[in-house]
Amino acid sequence: MNQPSIIIRDIQIINSGRIKTGDVYIKDGLIDKISGQIGHSADIEIDGSGRHLIPGIIDSQVHFREPGLTQKATIYSESIAAVKGGVTSFMEMPNTKPPAVTRELLEQKYQIGAANSVANYSFFMGATNDNIEEVLKAINDEVCGVKIFMGSSTGNMLVDHPNALNTLFSEIPILISTHCEDEQTVKRNEAAYLTSYGEEIPFSCHPEIRSVQACLLSSEMAVSLAKKYGTRLHILHISTGDELNLFTNEIPLKEKRITAEVCVHHLYFNSDDYESLGSLIKCNPAIKSESHQSALFQGLLSDKLDIIATDHAPHTLSEKNQSYFSAPSGVPLVQHSLQIMLDFHHRGLISLEKIVEKMCHAPSECFGIKNRGYLEEGFAADMAIIDIDTPYQITTENIAYQCKWSPLLGKTMRGTVLSTLVNGNLIWHEGKLKDDLKGERLTFIR
């Protein structure tokens, strides 16, 4: 069966730092034409008047929990949440069960993605203290990068041996993404707070345990190793203003060898929110003070921070509703990241063009993704139609995450994703989901 052609008419197109009104014609899964007015018809016509069209969001850090942790989430369930939020492509982390630390285990995840994901997908290869041979085998395939946990988090994938780190940074020829928290600093802080509070440590202590110093020490080490070996390094979820001096905004993104990401929860929440949300915003690295929150936003606007991602990390509510050491770290966010950024836009803090740059263009550039991330003729027709003004209340009924909770529950956000197209298919449109069509494996320019 041929794929139906689509025209989106009279819509405000946000792309490459500009907003212009026009028509978009989609044929055979690709953007065929972008013009002020397209004279011919299509199988499906969409009136875009009063709406905005953005490239599909590329979320470069998610945890979809499959295989082995499917009581929390699946690639199917969370990819649905993604497309409902305008996310058309994701890159998923290796700390599943078992972790994706061999080529065979990584390929199993790709098979699950091909069978079940309604969004486009790629999966990180996981590094350990002793799997360099497996990593080098896997990177010959189309993978988005190699993940190194330089601080422990969900799962047991800590890489802390100096020889292993030197080997990984010196031998891996593609992008390395790092989780940076100094393990010894965190352990010392945990021991001190356990002595003071016992098992009932307040969640407000989390940013003191997973401290600014722990983040800075580890990020400094990663940057030092990358500079020593010329490694292509991408540091994930920067959470402190102190780390911003490690990055530059003086050269274009395409020329950077060291890049950084900020996540929406580190922009939206601060340590004052532990009082009302407690374990629901416990994540690694921790959400920190308002001063760090403000510094991160300025780092984003000044281009020291290159990408906005989510670190989407669902757990069941019963798991989260435990004491400090028992409650796992992680927050589900992939469905609502665009709405968080639109909230900032309506407060006058960021332009629509900058949101698109950081959520769509920059991930494509940073990871070298082929033919995605822009609204350009010949590119894959990954895009979202949004109404930036219509209110949207987040409820348990419209949360698509399998875990069925969000730290944003009950909030009314200003902005709604009306339609999401993945490879030219209307996967989410007018409140209806078409989940029988699957996304594609991302490919990369290297």
First to last CA, the chain: 34
Domain ranges of the chain: 6-54+376-433, 56-367
pTM attached to this predicted model: 0.97
Q: What is the mean pLDDT of residues 287-291?
A: 98
Task: Name the average pLDDT for the chain.
Answer: 96
Which pLDDT value is given to residue 152? 62
Contact 410, 395 (CB under 8 A): yes
Backbone angles phi, psi at 23, to 5 degrees: -110, 150
Q: What is the mean pLDDT of residues 117-136?
A: 95
CB atoms within 10 A of CB 38: 17
Going along 63-134, which residue ranges are E strands?
87-92, 120-123, 125-126
Question: Who contacts 185 (Cβ-Cβ below 8 Å, separation ≥6)?
Answer: 211, 213, 214, 217
Which pLDDT value is given to residue 221? 97
State the fold for domain 6-54+376-433.
Urease, subunit C; domain 1 (2.30.40)
Per-residue model confidence as pLDDT tens digits over 160-173: 889 999 999 999 99
Q: What is the mean pLDDT of residues 131-156?
A: 83
| Percent of the chain scoring above 70 in pLDDT | 98
Evaluate if residue 156 carries a pLDDT over 80. no
Write down the CATH superfamily of domain 56-367. Metal-dependent hydrolases (3.20.20.140)
Evaluate if residue 435 carries a pLDDT over 80. yes
Contact 231, 169 (CB under 8 A): yes
Per-residue model confidence as pLDDT tens digits over 33-83: 999 999 999 999 999 999 999 999 999 999 999 999 999 999 999 999 999
Question: Who contacts 206 (Cβ-Cβ below 8 Å, separation ≥6)?
Answer: 274, 282, 286, 287, 324
- Taking the C-alpha atoms of residue 8 and residue 24, their distance in angstroms, rounded to an integer, is 5
